[in-house]
Structure 1
Amino acid sequence: MSIRLAVRRDADAVAAMLARAFADDPAFSWIFPDPAVRARKLPRLFRLILVTDAAAGMALVTSGGEAATLWRAPGRAQVSPVEMLRQAISLVGALGGATGRALRVSDAIGANMPKGDFWYLHVAGCEPAAQGHGLGGEAIRAGLRRAAGRLPAYLETATERNVGFYRSLGFAVTGEWDVPRGGPHFWSMLRAPG
């Protein structure tokens, strides 16, 4: 299987795939409670995330676009104030009335990140029809081989069934936490270098 760096022409297709992959994700379901609104908003939001993450690290995609991983480099795990200002209008346009809930999730994620240098696996998604065939795992392993193997890798997930999947890739749960004011439950996971 071929895993490559995503390029600008991949952005719309990868964003649409990620929107389908995260259609039932607990965090995005809390941010956008209405499934129709979620289906409409997620492609635009994932396009913004993909462009920002690619600039701050790397975006990997399978050759057929069935799976993708978005990584933020050491020291760039959190979106800087400058990045936030640059994208403010686009983010508010993508989030609309869900901006407050999205900021609560983002703040909680930032508050629970580890200290020190690490690669941040911000997003890992696979086309729902292609799940269970090893594509997502291979996209993650490709990122680990490219960069994160030299430093720890960190992620968080709000989907409990993903915890075992990430454990199989060498990640260990380092904490559990909830987004304040009724938000989703998350698991923080860290993978040692190597």
Structure 2
Amino acid sequence: MPPEPYTIREARPEELPELLDVLVEAFTPDPFMRVLLGEEPQPEKIRGLFELQLKSLYIPRGFIDVAVDSDGAILGTAQWMPPEGQQGTLKLELRDGPKYLKILGARALRHVIATDIYIRKHRPAFDHWYLHTIGVRATAQGRGVGSALLEHGITRFNGTAAYLEASTPRSATLYTRHGFVPVGTYKGTSPAAGMLYPATIDGVQYDPHSAAANGLLSAA
């Protein structure tokens, strides 16, 4: 029996609780989440962290896509931040410090802040789209949901570069298939790797290494 079809679209406000269920299921075993929140991260902390990030940053400034089946159930989700939405996001996160403290506790919050600042320092200085996460329910794995969400997001780039952090070799393989190139690993965090989708300049998509070397991807 063929797998049930699904549709990719933007999330609706009333779908936030179900969307968070998907993210908790997808990221509880994630190695990067274990680095941030401990070897056995509590689902309520993961849910609170994602809920605050989505409400503060991605709902007002970004794009939240979902894959839904014929009954409207969410199978997976991806969250993107466009270049213009990234200005001032660190200040917003610091403003929400008391909320993060309540969700995570002091020890985990210190680790989250240190990791966030470290990772931000290694993101591209030039304009780029940023992929926050892609999460897919376990029951929907192997149906191309992650690929479909990624392809949908790529259609928005319009020649602009994009960047993400891959937290597992499996996710890095997915991103590589869709044109992202590894540009370095994050020491002391997890197996996380920074990956770049090169910009298209005058109709040519440049290799990120040669482009950077030749000054083609200069800071804005």
Q: Is the TM value for this pair above 0.5?
A: yes
Distance 1:124 1:6 in 2: 13
1:185 aligned onto 2:194: no
1:148 to 2:157 alignment = yes
In the alignment, residue 15 of structure 1 is paired with which amino acid? L
Q: Match for 1:167: what amino acid?
A: T
**8 Å contact from structure 1 (residues 71, 119) kept in 2:** yes
Aligned residues: 189
Classify 1:34/1:192 alpha carbon distance in 2 versus 1 (closer, same or farther; 3 Å): closer
Partner of 1:168: 177
Any idea what SS the aligned residue of 2:96 has? helix
- Deviation string 1:76-110 (CA, Å, 9 cap, x unpaired) is 34752442244222222222231011112211210
Query: Structure 1: any 5+ residue segments left out of the alignment?
Result: none
Contact 1:54 1:70 in 2 (8 A): no
Query: Structure 2: which 5+ runs fail to align?
Result: 1-5, 201-220
Q: Deviations over 1:24-80 (max 9, x none)?
A: 111111122252x42221111111222221222111111231111111110434752
Percent same amino acid at aligned positions? 26
Deviations 1:108-140 (A, max 9, x none): 210110111110011111112211110111111
Q: CA RMSD in A?
A: 1.9
Mapping 1:7-86, distance limit 5 Å: 7-35=12-40, 37-51=41-55, 52-63=57-68, 64-77=73-86, 80-86=89-95
Give the conservation status (yes or no) of the 8 Å contact 2:119–2:186. Answer: no
Amino acid of the residue matched to residue 194 of structure 2? S
1:91 is the counterpart of 2:91? no
Larger radius of gyration: 2
SS at match of 2:131: strand
- Residue 136 in 1 paired to residue 146 in 2? yes
Partner of 2:137: 127
Q: Quick one: distance in 2 between partners of 1:91 and 1:133? A: 35
Q: 1:2-38 CA deviation, whole Å, 9 max, x = no partner?
A: 2111122111111121111011111111122252x42
> Are the counterparts in 1 of residues 23 and 47 from structure 2 also a CA contact under 8 Å?
yes
User: In structure 2, how many angstroms separate the alpha carbons of the residues matched to 1:8 and 1:138?
Assistant: 21
Larger helix proportion, structure 1 or 2?
A: 1
SS in 1 for 2:192: strand
- What TM-score comes out, normalization by structure 2 length? 0.79
